[in-house]
Amino acid sequence: MSPVRPPALDLRGTPCPLNFIRTKLALEQVPPGELLEVDLDAGDPQQLVTQGLETAGHGVTCVAHPEQEGAVRLLIRRHVG
């Protein structure tokens, strides 16, 4: 049995702050303590979304996108509190 992938959202090419808003809305559908994968453009989108989520208490890990140079994948663990 293969591991279950967390819900994923592809926001590459989506401008700020729309990418942050869509990430927050998707995160509301994820149970506390669970993961959400979000693909973003590297640079400002990555920085702004990460900062906003960390300020809200969510855990964020950023990794290189497996398929596209210049993009990143955020692994977001929803805040339990």
Q: Residue 1 has what pLDDT? A: 58
Domain extents in the chain: 12-77
| pLDDT bracket for residue 44 (50, 70, 90) | very high
Greater pLDDT, 3 or 42: 42
Q: Are 35 and 75 in contact (CB under 8 A)?
A: yes
pTM across the whole model: 0.92
What's the average model confidence in pLDDT over 38-45? 97
pLDDT 10s digits, 9-41 = 999 999 999 999 999 999 999 999 999 999 999
Q: What share of the chain is helix, strand, coil (3-state, %, to 5)?
A: 25, 30, 45
Q: Which CATH class is domain 12-77?
A: alpha beta
